[in-house]
Amino acid sequence: MSQANLPQPSGDEPPRKFSLKEVPAWGVSLGLHSLIFLFFGLYTFPIVRETFAELVVSEVEELQEPEFKFDVAATDQVGNGGTGDTLSPSLAAAGAVSASPQMETSKRLQEELVKVNLTPTATIGDVATDSLGKTVEVRGGTDNLSGEFGGKGTGGGSGGTAGTIDRLTFEIMASLKEKKTLVVWLFDESTSMKVRREAVAERFENIYKQLGLMDVETKNGILKSAIVSFGKDFHFISKDATDDIPQLVKLVKENIPNDESGKENVFTAVEKTVAKYRDYRSREHRNCLLVIVTDERGDDFGVNGEKLDQVIQATSAAGFKVFCVGNAAPFGQEKGYVRWTYDDGDSEELPVDQGPETVAPEHVNLPFWGVAGGDLVRMTAGLGPYALTRLCAETQGVYLIVEDTSRGVRFDPAVMRNYLPDYRPIKFYTKDLQANRAKTVLVDAARKTLGERTPTPEVIFRADTDAALRTELNDAQKPLAVLDYKLNEIVTLLEQGEKDRAKIKEPRWQAAYDTAYGRAIAMRVRSFGYNMTLAQMKANPKTFDKKGDNTWELVASDEITSGVQVKKMAAKAQEYLERVVNQHQGTPWAKLAERELSKPMGWSWKPISKDYAAIERAMAQAKRGPVFADENEKKKAEEKKKKMAARAKPNL
């Protein structure tokens, strides 16, 4: 058809409308894809900006220090309805498992900025078998299960190893009521732990028996357990998690080696254990509990706690709750003592690293003059060592005290909740320390006396002859010069923080500073008076009024004869110590202050009589040794003495 024959539009015809049917397929596809790209571009843009902003803020930590709060008002209770049943939001966040890789990454980035809201001290009695049907939800702290203890590394009395394992049964039961559970047991390989390891192994079967009595399903892989051990190195004792309990008991009794290095690298072991078993949380959807059984504090948490922070982050992110079966930390001291029994039955107490309960020592270690203070030397505040307790608290677990060596000195946990150590990351503790001079000098003074045994001056002086009296007075003044120098150093140091004392708000720091400063001043007052009193006796010796008296005893007196300035010092010491007693009743600091105030700070002479002839005979006999019935008995005693002297001390 030619162009001329085609129909031509008339001028009255409306314009032709556009139709999608005439658009080619590639054009439709291009339009749809453009709309999709535009939609997703707009949708993701705010999220990218938000994530980027979060990364920047998390790295610039100096912009604003987070506020750390410690929930210490409530007392955890056994049973439903206790204050421990509900977790604070911050503690729940600290132990929560991320729901996605993105959330887990954010969790790690923000770990240092999480508010730590915890209650790390609670006390419960021994767990009776007939009460195992009760539900307990106690999180984040220390449970003191100690009673009167004996034996080598084990507990007895009302708590001990048996009571602790029963308490752990509650935790496993509560976990099983939620979902399937994995329990990893991490045993200290130290030789001092052999008996305690065996005691725990004996209770394994009892755990499952008790759970069965409560109709809690533990078979068919519902509850699995694994065994790991640590010393200088660590070992996976069980190849994998299993529900074969007899086999686990056998492994604990027979396969855990005795490490004689004296090293306990527990935090490295925790890190490796979590890395090995963390898949049980995601792959098998299990709750994961890690139980550390030890009697020391651990050697590898880092100089500034960097290893501890790293392990806490990894353990929290993996969803593991950490429980520790351990010893109470000695109050303000690094060294605790473990009674070690040798193969032949002889025993002695050996020092081990068990404390302190704080990041840095905060207790100035001073002796007592003329006052019995032996019962306070090894007292504890009922708390575990800092690093392990913090690991338990931040993962919603509990530090369980199986043995307390404080020799009868006990403190009410309800009172001590107001005096908890600072469990924030160490860099925040350090920053807070540097911001207050009173806190800084207190820690400096505590470090100077850490582990020291300051000698107490002699108070009994033989005076049956003038020569004997003068000799003993001269001998007594020699060590006093060294002691007074140390006391002057401590008083001068603590004095530098006196202005900042009013700025301290935490009861623990208030009590610690006031006790240290008050006791140091009081001892300085005693030192001045002691030196002057001895000098006066040398210059003008006293005579006895009563026949038969031949010895002078220096006793505490209300009269201070060392001058007006020393009297002012005594009044100041009295003020500080009485403030501790009045404001911090029921605490270790009040106990120390009360003991210091139990004797006046002045000195006076008291005449007494001694039978020096009998004393000299006894001393001569002691040099010769005891009297034996026959030569064989004497020979055996001498051999035993030599053996004890030559005996190699184990590394515990």
Residue matched to tokens 């600091």: 589
Comparing 161-170, 339-348, 461-470, the range with the smallest average pLDDT is 339-348
76, 138 contact by CB (below 8 A): yes
Distance CA 629, CA 8 (A): 148
pLDDT band at 79 (very low <50, low <70, confident <90, very high): very low
Residues 435 and 645: their CA atoms lie apart, in Å, by 50
State the virtual CA torsion across 630, 634, 639, 640 in degrees, nearest 10.
110
- What does the domain layout of the chain look like in residue ranges? 65-329+380-404, 437-615
Judge whether residue 516 has pLDDT over 70.
Answer: yes
- Residue 410 reports pLDDT greater than 60: yes
Which residues, other chains included, contact 517 with Cβ-Cβ below 8 Å and sequence gap of 6+? 491, 494, 495, 498, 576
217 has a pLDDT exceeding 80: no
The confidence band for 195, taking pLDDT boundaries of 50, 70 and 90, is confident
- In whole angstroms, what is the distance from residue 628 CA to residue 567 CA? 56
More confident residue, 102 or 505: 505
Position 126 scores a pLDDT of: 32
State mean pLDDT over 618-647.
Answer: 68
Q: How far apart are CA 592 and CA 580, in angstroms?
A: 9
Q: Per DSSP, what are the bridge partners of residue 341?
A: 347
Per-residue model confidence as pLDDT tens digits over 295-307: 889 888 877 788 9
**Average pLDDT, integer, range 430-441:** 95
Q: What is the rounded CA–CA span in Å between residue 117 and residue 114?
A: 9
CATH dotted code for 65-329+380-404: 3.40.50.410
434 φ, ψ (degrees, to nearest 5): -70, -20
Dist. CA 312–CA 84, nearest whole Å:
22
* Across 113-130, average pLDDT: 36
Annotate 424-477 with DSSP letters as a single string.
Answer: S-HHHHHHHHHT-HHHHHHHHHHHHHTT--PPPPP-EEE-SSHHHHHHHHHHHH
pLDDT in tens, 261-279: 888 999 999 999 999 999 9
* Predicted pLDDT at 262: 82
Residue 406 has what pLDDT? 61
**What pLDDT score was predicted for residue 627?**
56
Per-residue confidence (pLDDT) for residue 37, from 0 to 100: 65
Sheet holding 460-462, edge to edge: 460-462, 551-557, 602-608
What pLDDT was estimated at residue 15?
53
Residue 54 reports pLDDT greater than 80: no
- The pLDDT confidence band at residue 619, using thresholds 50, 70 and 90, is confident
Q: What does the pLDDT look like over 535-551, one tens digit per residue?
A: 999 999 999 999 989 99
The larger pLDDT score, comparing residue 214 to residue 496, is at 496
CB 264 within 8 A of CB 188: yes
Identity of residue 419: Y
CB 165 within 8 A of CB 203: yes
Report the pLDDT averaged over residues 194-201.
Answer: 81
The pLDDT value given to residue 355: 83
Residue 463 in this model has a pLDDT that exceeds 60: yes
602 vs 2: which has the higher pLDDT: 602
pLDDT score for 294 = 92
Query: Average pLDDT in the 92-102 region?
Result: 37
* Least confident stretch, 94-108, 171-185, 208-222, 597-611: 94-108
Assign 400 to helix, strand or coil.
Answer: strand
Q: What is the pLDDT of residue 407?
A: 62
The three-state secondary structure class of 590 is: helix
